[in-house]
């Protein structure tokens, strides 16, 4: 069962990295998505960020890992609320995406398979 959970963690990290890369490529007009597909990518990325950070906060025993995931969760919630109120992307969303991307790479590279 433990190998299955590690495999699920790796798949979530890979999907999260791909979605964030696609969003960045769309932001700089390297790839152009339709508005519908762009919003679907935003939604799926947000859901994966919330699921992975909540899972890591509950399951992981490392203090640094819990702290990073608490920052990710807090910044995604605050950034989401501010983005709804102000109707624009703010610094909290960028912090959430940056920390999620870094933690996804760390989870793929340094954690045991």
Q: What is the pLDDT of residues 7-36, one digit of tens each?
A: 888 999 999 999 999 999 999 999 999 999
Contact 72, 51 (CB under 8 A): no
At residue 12, φ and ψ (nearest 5 deg) are -65, -40
- Categorize the per-residue pLDDT at 46 as very low, low, confident or very high, splitting at 50, 70 and 90: very high
Q: Which pLDDT does position 90 carry in this prediction?
A: 85
pLDDT in tens, 49-107: 999 999 999 988 889 999 999 999 999 999 989 988 988 878 999 999 999 999 999 98
Give pLDDT, residue 113: 55
pLDDT at site 19: 96
Exposure letters 85-102 (e unless 16+ CB within 10 A, then b) = eeeeebebbebbbebbbe
HSE (CB half, 13 Å, CA atoms) of 89?
7
The tokens for 23 are 């969003």
The pLDDT of residue 51 is 93
Domain that holds residue 79: 2-109
Provide the domain count of the chain.
Answer: 1
Integer CA distances (angstroms), 89 to 26, 45, 59, 65, in order? 15, 15, 30, 26
For the record, the structure tokens of 72 come out as 């990710």
pTM of the model: 0.87
């Amino acid at each position: 069962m433990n190998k299955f959970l590690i495999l699920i963690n790796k798949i979530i990290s890979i999907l999260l990295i791909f979605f964030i890369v696609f969003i960045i490529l769309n932001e700089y007009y390297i790839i152009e998505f339709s508005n519908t597909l762009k919003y679907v990518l935003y939604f799926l990325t947000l859901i994966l960020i919330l699921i992975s950070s909540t899972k890591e906060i509950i399951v992981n025993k490392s203090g640094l890992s819990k702290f990073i995931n608490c920052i990710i969760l807090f910044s995604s919630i605050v950034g989401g609320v501010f983005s709804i109120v102000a109707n624009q992307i703010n610094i909290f969303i960028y912090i959430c995406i940056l920390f999620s991307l870094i933690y996804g790479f760390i989870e793929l590279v340094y954690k045991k398979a």
